[in-house]
Structure 1
Amino acid sequence: MCTTVSNWSWRVILILVLLVLPFTDVALGLHITKVVVPTPVAVGDGGWLECEFVDQGQSIYSLKWYLGLDEFYRWTPAENPPIKTFHVKGDPLTVDRSSSHKGRVWIKDVTLGAAGVFRCEVSAEGPDFHTESEIGTMTVVDLPDEEPRITGTQDSYQMHEDVILNCSSPRAQPPASLSFYVNDEPADPLWLTPYHPKEDPETGLETAVLGLRFPLRPRLLRRGAAIVKCTAAILNIYWDSTEVFIPTDAPFHASIMEGQTAIGRGYPAAGSSLLTVLVLAILLLLLPH
């Protein structure tokens, strides 16, 4: 029985060694510890690609960066010069060779073509040329050419007339996300009309459009006008806004409404108090003495 237990124990130990050995080999050899790809990046800008690794005594043969299937950067420490760059169709980015070293690469002048998967590949020296690779994804944004535009305004409005406006953020990729505010308060969703972005057939850039329609009620007036603001945002890289005034044809109506509101709350208007005093004085003079 002792022989059976002993044989069983050795089998278990052998299985555990076979299972753990591949992971131990990787842990003690070459492996990538971190890959960082900047995102989002605006067209024309750039950022750092970072590929960190540990070699655990293995000599590095090469480190390469790929965009999709295309290699654009190689660091080979045994060669002179150690850094080489390669042309990629469409020139989606430029490598600053003077700032780059090992796996840390400065890219600039990116285009929309640089959006996608970046891969860092590190290889050890022979005879096995053990290779490790990790990926990161970049989003590239083509920002709008100008601030959002509000169209459809009139010189003046009648009370309770519908205000009908459009806001557009031109020529971007992806299209901007638009929002309307009335007197710094988010517009009622029932007032909004979303439209599909309009694509420029030549550039592929898109113009975002959002409609707004609301009745001009007295409660919306501030000194005879309402303020409408439109904001445009893309991810966490872009934000801009523009404002317009929506005036009434009779601004003093707002003051009258405000005075009536004050009286309704128990605060007499100044003109009303003066008139009351004058009437009482006249009545006192007319009373018989």
Structure 2
Amino acid sequence: MYTKSLFSLTTILLLSKYDVNAYDDKSVEITDLVVPKSPRTGEDVSLVCHYRLVGYNHRLYTVNWWRGKDQFYTYKGTGYDQKHAFNFPGIQVNMEASTDELVVLMDVSEETSGMFKCEVMGEGPSFRTAVETKSMTVIVPPKQVEIHSWEHRHPATYRAGETVQLNCTARGAKPRSHLLWEINGREVRELDVVRFPDFEDHRGRVTSTVGLRWIAPEYFHGNLARVICRALVGGHTTTDTKDIYLDPASSAAFNHQYASGGCQLSTTWTILSLASFLIVRTFP
């Protein structure tokens, strides 16, 4: 009788120890969380949550996605009807493309922005859980980026010694655009850049303007200055390009060794300079 009771007690202790170890050995790990930091309005966005279930026979219970306090997607590890989505402002889930590790949001907008959380939970009785969060801010690129020339002649043509005056305006961006100038592939000097105050409308969209001033023929390559304005918003770039021309006759006079003495240029030199100008305009 004593031997039988001892055997039963030993069996219970072994089973209890197995159950405790089985419970303690189970865990959930999120190995990679991908949330685009600054997508553009109108894009489809993929949210990725890679995970690992640790422990013998450890199976998935649910994967839940949240934006702030709003739970917008659930994937169940067992049973039928595994996927469920809930609509919120700026949140529209592509159910067909979404899985346990991938959620696709369609046509994101400013309202989509927020803190996104992936929650992975293993089956009971342990219900081990892992959580990771990342933020996303949907940007509004400028609806227009345009370089304006103060020279009304077309194409814009300057004589040596004249001041080239340009403004670049990026309209309706959120957050504000960071504007950069480039001429013939070179960055411009900061002293040639003119900064203007931003204008912000009631929706928080910003119009930014930056100016560029320099004296010809600086920055010109031959008789051409190809000017580029880049508007950077959240890692996205919008550009505008404008070609500025240098009057070849004035360029020749400016560089001629006798120009300062008032020497007249020969007819041949002037004709060659004008021909060069026409070629540059025809083949920019």
TM-score by shorter chain over 0.5 = yes
Match of 1:99, SS state, is coil
Alignment correspondent of 1:257: 254
Give the structure-1-normalised TM-score: 0.71
2:36 equivalent to 1:38: yes
Partners of 1:234 and 1:120 in 2: CA distance: 27
Partners of 1:218 and 1:122 in 2: CA distance: 64
State the shift of 1:154 in Å.
3.6
Counterpart contact for 2:92–2:106, Cα < 8 Å:
yes
State the shift of 1:43 in Å.
0.6
Match of 2:121, SS state, is strand
Give the structure-2-normalised TM-score: 0.72
Alignment correspondent of 1:111: 109
Partners of 2:27 and 2:137 in 1: CA distance: 33
Partners of 1:31 and 1:184 in 2: CA distance: 48
State the shift of 1:241 in Å.
2.6
Partners of 1:258 and 1:204 in 2: CA distance: 50
Amino acid at match of 2:28: L
Partners of 1:130 and 1:150 in 2: CA distance: 61
Alignment correspondent of 1:18: none
State the shift of 1:231 in Å.
2.1
State the shift of 1:247 in Å.
4.8
Alignment correspondent of 2:189: 188
State the shift of 1:233 in Å.
2.3
State the shift of 1:230 in Å.
1.9
Q: Which residues in structure 2 correspond to 1:1-289 (within 5 Å)?
A: 25=24, 28-55=26-53, 56=55, 57-88=57-88, 90=89, 92-155=90-153, 157=158, 159-201=160-202, 203-214=203-214, 216-221=215-220, 226-245=225-244, 247-248=246-247, 251-260=248-257
Counterpart contact for 1:223–1:254, Cα < 8 Å:
no
Give the structure with higher Rg (CA). Answer: 1
Match of 1:38, SS state, is coil
- Percent identity between matched residues is 26
Partners of 2:242 and 2:69 in 1: CA distance: 46
Counterpart contact for 2:27–2:129, Cα < 8 Å:
no
Query: Which portions of structure 1, spanning 4 or more consecutive aligned residues, are displaced by more than 4 angstroms?
Result: 156-159, 219-227, 269-272
Matched pairs, number: 237
- The Cα offsets for residues 246-279 of structure 1, whole Å up to 9 and x where unpaired, read as 555xx41212334439xxxxxxx9979xxxxxxx
- Structure 1 runs not aligned, ≥5 long: 1-20, 262-268, 273-289
- TM-aligned CA distance change 1:191 to 1:84, over 3 Å: same
Counterpart contact for 1:147–1:242, Cα < 8 Å:
no
Partners of 1:147 and 1:39 in 2: CA distance: 23
